[in-house]
Every structure is written in structure tokens, then in C-alpha cells.
Amino acid sequence: MIKIFLNGCNGKMGQVIVDLVDSNSEVTIVAGADVVEKQYNNFPVFTSIIKNNIPADVVIDFSNPLAFNDVLTYCQNTNTALVMATTGLKDEQLAKLQQVSLTIPVFFSANMSMGVNLVMSLCKQAASFLEDSFDIEIIEKHHNQKIDAPSGTALAIADSINKSLEQPKDYIYDRQSSRKKRSPNEIGIHSIRGGNIVGEHTIIFSGHNEIIEIKHEALSKDIFANGAIKAAIYLNKQPSGFYTMNSMLKT
């Protein structure tokens, strides 16, 4: 059984992971850390990953960018594989993850949903096939507590489309700010906020007399937790290196 250390174990995602691991025979949580000291769990919880003395095979981190240095120090010192799911990391932190992956296995994805990553791959394929004959617009919907707009996932989808094009397109977020016709060299990105929508992304390819839509709807946070658990199982078999959902989906 693969031994997991769960950083950020008392947070929303941490608690979803705890519930899902309970019914998964391949993994077990041996310990966790959280700055919030409440004890909800049936495993030891430390106030920092650095204080952990219980050996684990893989660290899953759903915490906060402020924990980043401690997580990396711990994983390097103990030679433990790392699934980094925390978002909002700075460019220099992402570069550090790559650097550390020379010595330990590191998995990173800003969106751990297998479905969203498949959508990205389908969009790439569609965009490179259709090239400039179709206009591309992305609509994302999230709950009314979300602070950032557009969502990191909408941007990641746009980035993946751009990577497949010979001529990358500009991102246009706010059409009301300029009165002019749409240029073919654009990806329009639009945000909707309301209620408790977990997350919805629709990518529209509009051509002459035909429209293609690729849509992903998240119905619960379980999809991110499941992806992170799958990533931990996958990473446990890998040598040192930098892995993403793409690497995992290809296997």
C-alpha cells in the first residue's frame, strides 16, 4: 500500500482526499500537516511538514504557496516523491519544482481533473486541425466566492490551444472596452460568477455555418482529489523527473 503524507490535510481539498483515501485499497495516509491544529483525522497531524518523522512514499500538497519551501526541503531531505496540487505558485517556484525534479519524482498540475486535462488535449487537436477557419471563445463559470477571473483553468486551456497553433492568438477578456470587429487572431475569454457552481468550461469553435463545442462541468471537488490520488499512485512507480497530467494520460 502506498503511504501518503497529506500537507494541508485540514483544508477543503485535504478533507476530500481523506474521505476518498478511506475507500481506496491502494493508498493510505500515514500522517499530515496543517497550520490549523484541529484534529479531524485518524492519522497524526503536525503543524509543519518539517516536523514529520513518519516515513511516506509520496507527499500530496493541497495547502498554500507559503508552505512551498518547507514542502520542497522535506521532500528533498527525505527523498520523497511530491504531488504538488497547490496553485498560485510564482514563476520562480515553478522553476524550483523543475530543478528539484532532477533528484526526486515531482508531479504538478494546476488542475488535477483528468477530464479537464483531456479537454485541453481535445482542444489542442481541434485548434491545430481547424487553424484559422474557426473563431475560438472560452466561457468559464464558477461560484460567487471565487476571487480570480478568468479561472486559471480557462487560461491553461487557452495556452494549450496556442501551443498547437503556428501563429499564437491574443487573449481578449473584455469586449466592451473597444468597439471593433472580432479579429481571427483572438481567443475570447469570458467569466460568469454565481451561486455554488463548482466549475464549468466551454470552448466554442465557431466556423462558417457550423459550431463545435467542447464542455467540461465539474460537479464536485472529488474530481481534483481523485486526480491527485491517481497522480500519487502513478508517481510512486516513476524515477526522478517532472511529470504532468499529460505524462499520466499517455500511459
Ligand X SMILES: NC(=O)c1ccc[n+]([C@@H]2O[C@H](COP(=O)([O-])OP(=O)(O)OC[C@H]3O[C@@H](n4cnc5c(N)ncnc54)[C@H](O)[C@@H]3O)[C@@H](O)[C@H]2O)c1
The binding site for ligand X (CB under 6 A) comprises 7-8, 10-14, 33-36, 48, 62-64, 66-67, 85-88, 109-112, 224
| Nearest-angstrom CA–CA distance, 239 and 230 | 16
Identity of the residue numbered 3: K
Q: 215 catalytic, yes or no?
A: no
Between 41 and 48, CB nearer to ligand X: 48
Residue 23 is classified by DSSP as T
User: In the complex, which residue's CB is closest to ligand X?
Assistant: 11
Identity of the residue numbered 219: L
User: From the CB of 25, what's the least distance to ligand X, in Å?
Assistant: 23
User: From the CB of 230, what's the least distance to ligand X, in Å?
Assistant: 12
Which residues, other chains included, contact 154 with Cβ-Cβ below 8 Å and sequence gap of 6+?
138, 140, 189, 191, 201
Query: Can you tell me whether residue 148 is helix, strand or coil?
Result: coil
| Nearest-angstrom CA–CA distance, 129 and 150 | 26
Between 116 and 136, CB nearer to ligand X: 116
Residue of 12, 90, 124, 146 marked catalytic = 146
| Nearest-angstrom CA–CA distance, 174 and 234 | 40
- Contact status, residue 190 vs residue 238, Cβ threshold 8 Å: no
Between 146 and 172, CB nearer to ligand X: 146
Cβ count within 10 A of residue 102:
10
User: From the CB of 35, what's the least distance to ligand X, in Å?
Assistant: 4
Q: Counting runs of H as helices and runs of E as strands, what totals does the chain give?
A: 7, 12
Between 137 and 222, CB nearer to ligand X: 222
Q: 216 catalytic, yes or no?
A: no
Residue of 124, 142, 169, 221 marked catalytic = 142
User: From the CB of 100, what's the least distance to ligand X, in Å?
Assistant: 17
Which residues are designated catalytic? 142, 146
